[in-house]
Amino acid sequence: MKQSQMFIPTMKETPADAESASHRLLLRGGFIRQVAAGVYSYLPLGYKIIKKIEVIIREEMDRIGSQELLLPAMQPAELWHETGRWDVYGPELMRLKDRHGRFFALGATGEEVITSLVRDYLNSYKKLPMSLYQIQTKYRDEKRPRFGLLRGREFIMKDAYTFHDSAESLDQSYWEMYHAYCRIFERCGLKFRAVLADSGAIGGKDTHEFQALAEIGEDIIAYSDSSDYAANLEMAAVLDTDITDKGESLPLEKTAGKAIASGAVSISAYWFKTREETVVVFVKSSDEINDVKVKNVLGTDLIESINPESGNPLHPEKGVRVLADNGLKHIAQASFYSEPEAATYNFIDPKRDLPVERYEDLRFIKEGDPSPDGKGRIKFAHGIEIGQVFKLGTKYSEAMNATYLDAEGKARPLIMGCYGIGVSRTLSAICEQYHDEDGMIWPKSLAPFTIHLITVNPKNKDQYDLSEKLYMQFTDQGYDVLWDDRKERPGVKFADSELIGCPVQVIVGKKAADQIVELASRKEKERIEISIKELPLSIV
């Protein structure tokens, strides 16, 4: 493709509000453009990479016998009422009303639609198991859309759903998906960990998250330095701390110094130290509570909190997560108000307010701890959640009356699994792992073009002719070539080439008349002069 004909609006300046490398470089390299907060256009280069990720996903889904379909993004509210999620999902669900006054959700996920689709057809054990997936735009009105494609309000997701007549069959599909996900992320060149996770709002039990390792990642994962053990911190703490009663979250009363009666609403919390300086507090309630206030005591910095001081309901299953400053000295304060009852819980400096022995009862998980599986020591890393696999069980099929007849002719709810991959988020995660200060360095499997052929001065006939010859030759060899034939200054061309990040650059310059070009790898940046006769057959 000739670059003079392509729409690649690169930017010299660093956009002020782009806080992460991926956000910055995707904008600067002309891969994406923002349209509104958390809403982006994929430009030709960015969309090429998205499509390559999708090809990998499709191949691996097909390989495990999952079939692609396409469900609507516009989903009638009635379906969400059937599962109760119209109310439970909260403000993250985008809602709209049609001209007849009927309500719709813009799909944040697809359990309702797919369950309604199969319930009439998957009516016998003979038709099970069944595995279906789609790649479809999803909508979530995230409170804090940020980091470009990492947390969008409109984003591309691959979501798969499986249907079964036994726990064993679900287990088999779950692990097939798990391994397919490993292959997908490996083929994308990502460094990632599959971690045990908490199932959160979606319900169900077994679940793993796929976390791409990156400093910018919002999640913290605990993994063993010498085994496959990896869990997100919420789970690691649950596994590691016997106070939490093997998976039950820790009742707040056992840990907090002050707890004012909560009336009908019961609230539980557990907390643990993530690093020397950080405490994570998870709070869950038995009911939706309005007006959650989480604030600090002792004037310390709240590093991050989800849901605080927002007026958002405290989600019964999601809870609220607070990262507060130094566990040994200061801990955040959380207050919950639920009309008509009010409850205030204080997480206060244990050295002042909590009996010391009780504080020490809390066995925080920390780096260097033995692993839960008896092998190696715990390490922490930041991760970006690029995918998740869930065993849903019968939560949705029961709510939506999706049953099949077993061999005895008895009606039973379909047993389900669901499996998501953030396609657009995966693109960002790859950027986080494959860049330097000058731009992207795409892994071969995903590069928008494999060779960047740069004609330093296209007005020079030798340079232009040699470039054209090489363009044909590389194309014939099966390479995807971007040919910078633009009449631009060399400095602009080289800067753009760094931003675009094709793995190999072939530079046609002054020695074109002698059939000599320069060959450079984007990563190593070293250029070598080479006669075109000596160009290796496979240069990428």
- Min. distance of Cβ 400 from ligand ATP in angstroms? 19
Q: Which does 142 bind (CB under 5 to 8 A by kind): Mg ion, ligand ATP, none?
A: ligand ATP
Q: From 425, 201, 217, 239, select the one nearest 304 (Cα to Cα).
A: 217
Cβ 416 vs Cβ 250: under 8 Å: no
CB-hemisphere CA count at 13 Å for 530? 15
The answer to the question of residue 388 lying near ligand ATP (CB under 6 A) is yes
Sketch the per residue contact string, 74 through 113, with ligand ATP: x for CB under 6 A, - otherwise.
-----------------------------------x----
Strand partners, 139: 154
Question: Which tokens in the block code for residue 190?
Answer: 């990502």
- Phi/psi region, residue 20 (left: phi>0; alpha: psi -120 to 50; beta: rest), is beta
Q: Which residues are CB-neighbours of 471 under 8 A, at least 6 positions away?
A: 453, 481, 483
Candidates 151, 187, 395, 452; binder of ligand ATP (CB under 6 A) is 151
The residue among 155 and 163 lying less far from ligand ATP, judged by its C-beta, is 155
Q: From 447, 442, 455, 500, select the one nearest 2 (Cα to Cα).
A: 455
Q: Which does 484 bind (CB under 5 to 8 A by kind): Mg ion, ligand ATP, none?
A: none
The residue among 42 and 345 lying less far from ligand ATP, judged by its C-beta, is 42
Q: Which does 176 bind (CB under 5 to 8 A by kind): Mg ion, ligand ATP, none?
A: none
Candidates 27, 71, 157, 213; binder of ligand ATP (CB under 6 A) is 157
- Min. distance of Cβ 385 from Mg ion in angstroms? 5
CB-hemisphere CA count at 13 Å for 270? 26
Question: In angstroms, what CA-CA distances link 132 with 107, 165, 184, 268?
Answer: 17, 16, 17, 37
Q: Which residues are CB-neighbours of 228 under 8 A, at least 6 positions away?
A: none
The residue among 192 and 345 lying less far from Mg ion, judged by its C-beta, is 192
- Min. distance of Cβ 124 from ligand ATP in angstroms? 30
Strand partners, 216: none
The answer to the question of residue 388 lying near Mg ion (CB under 5 A) is yes
The answer to the question of residue 422 lying near ligand ATP (CB under 6 A) is yes
The residue among 232 and 346 lying less far from ligand ATP, judged by its C-beta, is 232
- Size of the residue set binding ligand ATP (CB under 6 A): 15
Candidates 152, 383, 439, 503; binder of ligand ATP (CB under 6 A) is 152
Cβ 296 vs Cβ 333: under 8 Å: yes
- The continuous run of DSSP H or E covering 390 comes out as strand 378-393
Query: What residues line the site for Mg ion (CB under 5 A)?
Result: 385, 388
Query: What residues line the site for ligand ATP (CB under 6 A)?
Result: 109, 140, 142, 151-152, 155, 157, 385-388, 420, 422, 424-425
